[in-house]
Amino acid sequence: MNMINVVNTAARAIDDVWLPSSCSLCYGTCSILAHRVDGVVVKIEGNPESAVGKGRLCGKGVSGIMTHYDPNRLTHPLRRTNPKKGLNEDPQWKEISWDEALDEISAVLKQVRAEDPRKLVVQRTTTVTASRVPFQTFAAAFGTPNFSVSGGGQHCGNGAHLISGIMHASWSIVPDFEYCNYAIYFGASKGHAAGHASCSNMGKAADARARGMKMVVVDPICNFAAAKATEWVPLRVGTDAALALAMCNVMVNELGIYDGAYLQAKTNAPYLIGPDKLYVRDPGNKEPLVWDTRSHCARPFNEVAAADMALEGEFNVDGTLCRPSFHCLRDHLRKFTPEWAEEISTIGSATIRRLAKEFGTEARVGSTIVVDGVTLPYRPVAAIAFRGSQGHMNSVYNFYAVDLLNHLVGAADVVGSCLGFNPACHGHPDTGKMRYIPSAGPDGLMVTGMWMGYHYPYPPSEPRLPTNLGLQDLFVLGMTSPFLDSTDREDMWQRFDVPYRPEVMVNFGANLIMSIANKETVAASLAKYKFMVSFDLFLTETSSFADIVLPDCSYLQSLDSRSNFPFIFSLPAGTGEWCWPIRQPVLPPDGEQRNCADVLLEIADRVGFRADLNAAYNASLNIQAPHRLEGETRYSYAQICDAELKNNFGDERGLDWFKENGLVKWKKTPAEVYWRPFVDVRVPIYWEFMLPIGNKIAAIAEPRGLKIPMEYYQPMPDFLPCTSHCCKKSDFDFYAFYYRDIVHTNSFTMENPWLDEAARLDPFSYTIAINAAQARKRELHDGQLVWIESEAGRKVKGRLKLTEAIHPEGIGIAAMCGHWSDGMPVAKGKGVFFNELLELDWDHVSPVNNNLDLCAKVRIVPVEAAP
Amino acid sequence: MKWGMVIDLKRCIGCYGCQLSCKAENGTPPGVYYARVLKAEEGQYPTVRNLFLPVLCNHCEDPPCVSACPTGASFKWEEDGIVDINHDLCVGCRSCMMACPYTNRYFNDQASHYHPQSATPYEAARTASHQTNVVMKCNFCRDRVRGGKPPACVANCPTVARVFGDLDDPTSDVSRLIKERGGFTLHPEVGTGPSVYYLPA
């Protein structure tokens, strides 16, 4: 493989190189080639050799130069001299040396580790995918379970990743763009904005569009994905489950469309359910029973041929009356009529019936197709969801109801269907490493082969009296927790007798003040930390709460052996290539900037837990002998990266080889891409485990005064309203929501002047989108300055943009704008800070997965002109 | 040989990749974007279409900017049809900007950079070398193209919405796409004969 690596070897050595590396403007982490001439990066392009991005980049990726060279970047460690912390407090920074900084940090951490290591909370931004291992291992080795990702998960993933993990053994789901004929997107923009497999998906989605794939986009606003859709279906904010459940009902009960064979063989549809809503189990081996239609008796599921399993019927098993779960589901779905769904979602019942018929028909249940000589099931439909639809109280059921559409017709991880991102990999052809495959776990249900954290989505852990600050050991279906910063966190900790409190935070690049909820709540939480260290590129709104700020290297100055891995996260799904790129420094650090991974290693050395950290790295990176890290040896991060690469790809392919070549890739096989028919695992179309988990949580929580609403812990999905849906206040008649802008990432890129310039030219990036007719009815005009005020009285100010492309009840705002930090002067004052409208407490999160409820009922108040 | 570009509006997702990769390739100063993305909507709720229209210099057959130029700074290359500017001859009168019906020319008033405090090393390398007091515009990445590479915006587009090639060659991708997909130019009524074609969304 030839890299474009031109080094002019004339008599006078001239620096003119293209170095392969990885982008970091969003977590898509597309592969790049960075052109450095005489010590200056003058261009960033995609790397055509890589499957990640395929040689192309979005607007953010090509603009990375101006993030790196921002003169507002931190270059020296800083120490606050003003002990007071608050939104209006000036930290009064003074520059200190690294030695001073690390002395103080190590002293604090040493003390905390001796007292109770759980008092340390580690936060990181999801934007830098490669930061996961260094910070996760640091937390694990230090001895704290309190590891979080700021707004990540709480906003966008507690639902999406939970259900994608349980139902598709992956982090996320996407249509099989190459073969899908009909895709329905619920609050998602895969292939049209950013995120997982960003640029690769953009190319694949464009190919699908050119090929004629129909794309229906269900979204309160018509932008990005809906702009390219064959049909935009506007709906009332947060009501996706109503549409999805009605479609399931129409398909199964009105049209009789479902994939019986798939349900029999690949789901728990035949498992018998008793009057207690639980599996009827074999008294001996406790396996769930199915009804064998051949021998007319109930037998353990793993002893009956799939085709002989009943999907419907009433059976008596030793006196217990029971039905297969599919029968329960079918009956359960009947109440979700299109008329019912129309009331809730505002989508016409005729449209709902039509969508269900189109989806069910195009699923072509029973058909097959030959790919590379292999005959595979062919279901060219996909229903996908992501941040938008799962960002509500009904997070779990919203996402699950959408995915149920797929499983009812067998459109899961087969050709043309809804795919997880790379759930199965047969490993590198030479070394066999990185092999992972989903397997059958308890009750025959699928356990993912690869995950991003220590706790897998299935099987769920046993709820217990929590000792994690985030209560994830109680709310076991949650992931990122709101309870680290919520207004009721102290109540929760007291209620559950959590025997310690957070005292120290190590933050990598996250801007918690802006990325979680209203700034006042998170500020109050951060101000209580006794000591906070923040690795940052700029002084953000969150940096101002730190005691010490450390100047981080940008991605152009950083090394990471696994910029992209695991493959479930951001390698494009579907046919193509496995690809392992790295990130390498193109430029040296400026001033006193240092690489965070190396800093963490040094801190571990000073505090005295290097051996634990080496062990954590071995476990996390799965490093075997002879490359395994030993004892307390003080490996540098570069040495650890080298060990990982050699471990995975052989001794000849260590760091030096990767710096030269950039990546390793090999072709995917159809059996890997369309793995489902080849692996004997089942997924739950009846979440039987919900009820016992809910009961166990209630048994712990309710005696301590926390009522668990059991309607959220039922085995079959429902539509449960958000606070906004229940609001009856007379002039609060809009649902405010946010969306991810294509030109910005989190709260990060508004500081980039090229991206800011593009955003200022865009009609929507910094404005408040409102339905034109609704605005005119209220005598509001384009460009008008208004307050958007929530039920709780929180408000944000911005300019209206009248548009036809939004639901009449919607107020749409691009995410995480509205900076106020002086440390980000380009970002300051641009756009609207939507998250100010969000509350952060038990009442505003899903009681199941603790995802935040991201919609708010609001009223519009024109800003009075100054007198 | 006549260079031309085809932009497929069905594929374009309005990611600003073209606008920004052009800026990165050419080091254009603040306020100058040889390639831009325009956004508009048509229809009435709920039957709405969102449109993304990437635009750039059209390298016209009969460029009014060339005929308007008093010094000959604006010219069209015989060999390949690129409409270009010789900045040594440009006196900054801006007649060409008034003549261009597509507003795709920009005046580089004085040296400027993005951050008020200082120019970045990138800008020192790539922006500072642009002459001031002259008009600037897209030149189809003339040096890249003559070196065998496509223009930066074409190479970068993540949806592969931009295609570049010889309009004089009926078998080229651009010629074929225009014919097969019904390629059209912007404002054909002004009669300048653009070399940039669009495929319908």
* Same domain flag for A748 and A603: no
Q: Do B23 and A754 touch (CB under 8 A)?
A: yes
Which residue in chain A is spatially nearest to B44 when comparing CA positions? A804
A224/B13 Cβ within 8 A: yes
Full domain range(s) for residue B175? 3-199
Using an 8 Å Cβ cutoff, are A273 and A279 in contact?
Answer: yes
Q: Do B46 and A232 touch (CB under 8 A)?
A: yes
The reply to whether residue A806 touches residue B45, judged by beta carbons under 8 angstroms, is yes
Q: Rounded to whole angstroms, how far apart are CA atoms A821 and A90?
A: 11
Same-domain pairing of A651 and A755: no
Tell me whether residues B115 and A203 touch, CB distance under 8 A: no
Judging contacts by C-beta atoms under 8 Å, the chain B residues touching residue A232 are 46, 48
Q: Give residue for tokens 């008796």.
A: A297
- Residues B59 and B82 sit within 8 Å (Cβ to Cβ): yes
Residue to test with chain B: of A62, A222, A755, most B Cβ within 10 A: A62
- Residue A740 shares a structural domain with residue A839: yes
* A526 and A646 inside one domain: yes
Q: Do B158 and A203 touch (CB under 8 A)?
A: yes
CA atoms within 13 A of residue B94's CA, in its CB half-sphere? 9
Query: Which segments of A702-794 does DSSP mark as H helices, in order?
Result: 753-761, 772-777
Which residues, including other chains, have CB under 8 Å from residue A219's CB and lie 6 or more apart?
A185, A186, A187, A225, A226, A232, A233, A234, A235, A388
Tally of domains within chain A: 2
A35 CA: distance to closest CA in chain B (Å): 11
Same domain? For A633 and A740 the reply is no
Distances (CA, A) of A548 to A477, A504, A747: 34, 12, 21
Please judge whether B48 and A232 are an interchain contact, meaning their C-beta atoms are less than 8 angstroms apart.
yes
Q: Which residues contact A640 (CB under 8 A, 6 or more apart)?
A: A561, A617, A621, A629
B156/A45 Cβ within 8 A: yes
**Cβ–Cβ < 8 Å for A724, A856:** yes
Q: Do A530 and A651 have their domain in common?
A: yes
Judging contacts by C-beta atoms under 8 Å, the chain B residues touching residue A750 are none
Tell whether A265 is covered by a domain. no
* Interface contact flag, A803 B157, Cβ < 8 Å: no
d(CA A366, CA A112): 60
Low-confidence residues of chain A: pLDDT under 70: 1-13, 865-867
State how far the Cα of A489 lies from the Cα of A494, in Å rounded to an integer: 9
Give the nearest chain B residue to A61 (CA atoms). Answer: B17
pLDDT tens, chain B, 201 aa long: 999 999 999 999 999 999 999 999 999 999 999 999 999 999 999 999 999 999 999 999 999 999 999 999 999 999 999 999 999 999 999 999 999 999 999 999 999 999 999 999 999 999 999 999 999 999 999 999 999 999 999 999 999 999 999 999 999 999 999 999 999 999 999 999 999 999 999
Residue of B nearest to A69 (CA): B120
Distance CA A119, CA A625 (A): 34
The count of structural domains within chain B is 1
Residue in A38, A53, A202 closest to B15 by CB: A202
Residues spanned by the domain of A493: 1-73+108-148+453-565+585-661
Side-chain half-sphere exposure of A353, counting CA atoms within 13 A = 10
Asked if residue A614 and residue A490 are part of one domain, the reply reads yes
Contact: B48, A222; criterion CB under 8 Å: yes
* Nearest C-alpha neighbor of A601 from the set A585, A612, A587, A590: A612
Chain A residues touching B19 at Cβ < 8 A: 59, 758
Contact (CB, 8 A) for B167 and B175: yes
Domain boundary among A661, A679, A711: A661
Q: How far is A210 from chain B (nearest CA, A)?
A: 7
Q: Please say whether the beta carbons of A18 and A3 come within 8 A.
A: yes
Query: Which residue does chain B place closest to A60, by CA atoms?
Result: B17
Q: Which residues of B touch A71 (CB under 8 A)?
A: 115, 117-118, 120
Distance from CA of B71 to the nearest CA of A (A): 33
Contact by Cβ (8 Å): A835, A515: yes
Residue A363 lies in a domain: no
Q: Is residue A857 part of a domain?
A: yes
Query: Are A753 and B156 within 8 A, CB to CB?
Result: no
For residue A515, give the 3-state DSSP assignment.
helix
Neighbours of A642 (CB within 10 A): 20
- Neighbouring C-alpha atoms within 13 Å toward the C-beta of A409: 35
Residue where one domain finishes, among candidates A610, A635, A661: A661
Residue A14: the pLDDT is 83
Q: Is the residue at A437 inside a domain?
A: no
By C-alpha distance, the chain A residue nearest B154 is A56
B20 to chain A, closest Cα gap in Å: 6
Q: State the nearest Cα–Cα gap between A178 and chain B, in angstroms.
A: 14
Q: What angle do CA A110, A113, A118 make, to 5 degrees?
A: 145
Residue A552 confidence (pLDDT)? 98
Q: What 3-state class would DSSP assign to B138? A: coil
Q: How far is CA A132 from CA A27, A135, A565, A610, in A?
A: 11, 6, 10, 18
Contact B24 A56 (CB under 8 A): no
pLDDT of residue A864: 79
**Contact (CB<8Å) A805/B14:** no
| CA angle A330–A335–A341, rounded 5-degree value | 120
Q: Please judge whether B13 and A228 are an interchain contact, meaning their C-beta atoms are less than 8 angstroms apart.
A: yes
Residue of A60, A192, A804 with shortest CB distance to B44:
A804
pTM over 0.80: yes
The candidate with the shortest Cα–Cα distance to A573, out of A422, A435, A449, A428, is: A422
Residue A798 belongs to domain with CATH number: 2.40.40.20
Residues in chain A with CB shorter than 8 Å from the CB of B31 are: 757
**pLDDT value, residue A219:** 97
Q: What is the mean pLDDT of chain A?
A: 96
Please list every residue in chain B whose beta carbon sits closer than 8 Å to the beta carbon of residue A53.
Answer: 158
Give B161's contacts in chain A (Cβ within 8 Å). 206
A246/chain B closest Cα distance in angstroms? 21
User: In this complex, which of B13, B48, B114 lies closest to A192 when CB atoms are compared?
Assistant: B13
* Residue-level pLDDT at A454: 79
Q: Chain A: nearest CA to B63, how far in angstroms?
A: 27
Give me the pLDDT at residue A9, please.
42
Indicate the residue of A37, A209, A806 with minimum beta-carbon distance to B11: A209
ipTM attached to this prediction: 0.98
Contacts with A754 from chain B: Cβ below 8 Å = 20, 23-24, 114
A657 and A747 together in one domain: no
**Type of residue at A223:** N
Q: Kindly state whether residues A6 and A127 are assigned to the same domain.
A: yes
Which residue, of A661, A692, A715, is where some domain finishes? A661
A61 Cα to chain B: minimum distance (Å): 8
User: What 3-state class would DSSP assign to A589?
Assistant: coil
Same domain, A735 and A812: yes
A80: β partners: A93
Strand A78-80 to A40-46 pairing? unpaired
Angle at which helix A596-607 crosses helix A610-621, to 10 degrees, equals 140
Which of B50, B124, B157 minimises the CB distance to A223?
B50
Task: Supply the pLDDT for residue A585.
Answer: 98
CATH number of the CATH domain containing A36 = 3.40.50.740
User: How far, in Å, CA of A113 to CA of A506, rounded?
Assistant: 14
Q: What's at A810, amino acid-wise?
A: G
Q: Are residues A657 and A740 in the same domain?
A: no
Task: Kindly state whether residue A13 falls inside one of the protein's structural domains.
Answer: yes
Are B46 and A773 inside 8 Å of each other by CB? no
The CATH number given to whatever domain includes residue B19 is 3.30.70.20
Give the number of beta-carbon pairs within 8 Å between A and B: 160
Most distant CA atoms of chain B, gap in Å: 53
The answer to whether the beta carbons of residues A82 and A547 sit under 8 Å apart is: no
Say yes or no for a CB contact (<8 Å) between A223 and B41.
Answer: no
Q: Tell me whether residue A313 is in a domain.
A: no
- Contact list in B for residue A199 (CB cut-off 8 A) is 158
User: Contact A226/B50, CB-based, under 8 Å?
Assistant: yes
Read out DSSP for A617-641?
A: HHHHHTPPTTT---TT----HHHHH
Helix spans in A622-752 (H):
637-649, 655-661, 670-673, 690-701
CA A770 to chain centre: 28
Phi, psi of B121 (to 5 degrees): -55, -35
Which residues in B lie closer than 8 A to residue A218 (C-beta atoms)? none
**Cβ contact, residue pair B122, A44, below 8 Å:** no
- Are A645 and A759 members of one domain? no
The Cα of B112 is separated from the nearest Cα of chain A by a number of Å equal to 13
Would the CB atoms of B25 and A43 count as touching at under 8 Å?
A: yes
Could you say which DSSP state residue A864 is in? Answer: P
A518 occurs within a structural domain = yes
What chain A residue is nearest to B28 in terms of C-alpha separation?
Answer: A754
Which one of A41, A47, A66 makes the best mutation probe of the B interface by having the most chain B beta carbons within 10 Å?
Answer: A66
Q: Are residues B158 and A232, on separate chains, in Cβ contact within 8 Å?
A: no
